[in-house]
């Protein structure tokens, strides 16, 4: 078998490259507590696209070695198709979001759609690199490079979470007449006694303290705040039904301090799990702001 691989490098590069491209996509495809993509049909779609991505990346290398430069055209067409994957995920999640008791929000949906598109490109890159080193050195080198690429893929999968930019702590949920406070952050006015009783008994309050000035701007982003409320409500449940606007989990900024107050009404009132849920909320790329970096550069240029 090894001698066959050495004498048929073109075929070996396609097989090894496609295998590692598909393997990278399999390892990146996970259904977590949000149950997305759905099992099994959602996974079948993305695994099929992963196979196509791996095959395209792998076939491009021997084609280029044989001076068949039309392979670049196929890669360009693949990029167009994967952009359609992003649109498909965005449209699907937007429709589903209308049926959620606590919606994800537009920013969270866009972040998920970008991830699905980007992971197909990572599958192409893994397949391309494995196939390239098979052609340049040998099948054994292609396998080593493929394993290294999968290690890089795992590193890229580790996104930043809220705990990196903010410190979370429990806070009391208190009423001053109809005015609701979480810690020292004013949340809203609750008019009905029935709703006040439910919030007092079922509500959990948290204060997120940003670790720096950049973090203050990031956690103030409405999309990021909605993502926090959605993740906590998904993991712990939500104590409300459709048509109960006063029981909707909310977040409010302490304008003078920059702290973020969170009020959630979970089905499972577990403080440790709730804190873990908030800490593990992904930091949305669209929400990240670094005004201190921009201001420092402007000062240096001036």
Per-residue pLDDT at 229: 92
Neighbours of 167 (CB within 10 A): 14
Nearest to 42 by CA among 78, 85, 77: 85
Per-residue pLDDT at 294: 54
pTM over 0.85: no
Cβ proximity of 165 and 217 under 8 Å = no
Per-residue pLDDT at 31: 57
CA neighbours closer than 13 Å in the CB half-sphere of residue 297: 4
* Burial classification of residue 9, based on how many CB atoms lie within 10 Å of its CB (0-12 exposed, 13-18 middle, 19 or more buried): buried
Per-residue pLDDT at 117: 83
The pLDDT averaged over each successive group of 10 residues in the chain (302 residues) is 64 88 84 58 78 86 80 76 81 86 88 84 90 85 89 78 89 89 89 86 91 86 91 88 82 88 90 90 80 56 53
Cβ proximity of 218 and 287 under 8 Å = yes
d(CA 46, CA 91): 16
Domain segments of the chain: what residues?
2-158, 163-293
């Amino acid at each position: 078998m090894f001698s066959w691989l050495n004498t048929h490098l073109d075929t070996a590069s396609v097989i090894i490259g496609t295998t590692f491209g598909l393997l990278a996509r399999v390892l990146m495809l996970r259904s977590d507590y949000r149950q997305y993509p759905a099992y099994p049909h959602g996974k079948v779609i993305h695994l099929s696209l992963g196979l196509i991505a791996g095959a395209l990346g792998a076939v491009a290398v021997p084609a280029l070695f044989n001076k068949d430069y039309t392979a670049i055209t196929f890669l360009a067409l693949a990029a167009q198709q994967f952009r359609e994957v992003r649109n498909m995920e965005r449209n699907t999640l937007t429709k589903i979001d209308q049926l959620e008791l606590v919606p994800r929000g537009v920013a969270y949906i866009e972040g998920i759609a970008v991830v699905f598109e980007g992971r197909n490109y990572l599958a192409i890159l893994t397949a391309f690199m494995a196939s390239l080193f098979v052609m340049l050195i040998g099948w054994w080198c292609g396998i080593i490079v493929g394993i290294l690429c999968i290690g890089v893929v795992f590193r890229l999968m580790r996104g930043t979470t809220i705990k990196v930019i903010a410190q979370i702590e429990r806070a009391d949920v208190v009423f001053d007449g109809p005015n609701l406070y979480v810690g020292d952050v004013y949340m809203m006015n609750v008019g009905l006694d029935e709703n006040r009783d439910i919030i007092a008994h079922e509500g959990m309050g948290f204060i997120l303290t940003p670790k720096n000035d950049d973090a203050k701007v990031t956690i103030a982003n409405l999309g990021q705040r909605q993502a926090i409320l959605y993740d906590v409500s998904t993991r712990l449940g939500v104590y409300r039904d459709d048509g109960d606007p006063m029981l909707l989990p909310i977040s409010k900024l302490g304008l003078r301090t920059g702290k973020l107050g969170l009020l959630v009404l979970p089905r499972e009132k577990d403080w440790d799990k709730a804190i873990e849920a908030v800490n593990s909320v992904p930091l949305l790329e669209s929400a990240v702001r670094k005004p201190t970096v921009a201001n420092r550069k402007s000062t240096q240029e001036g």
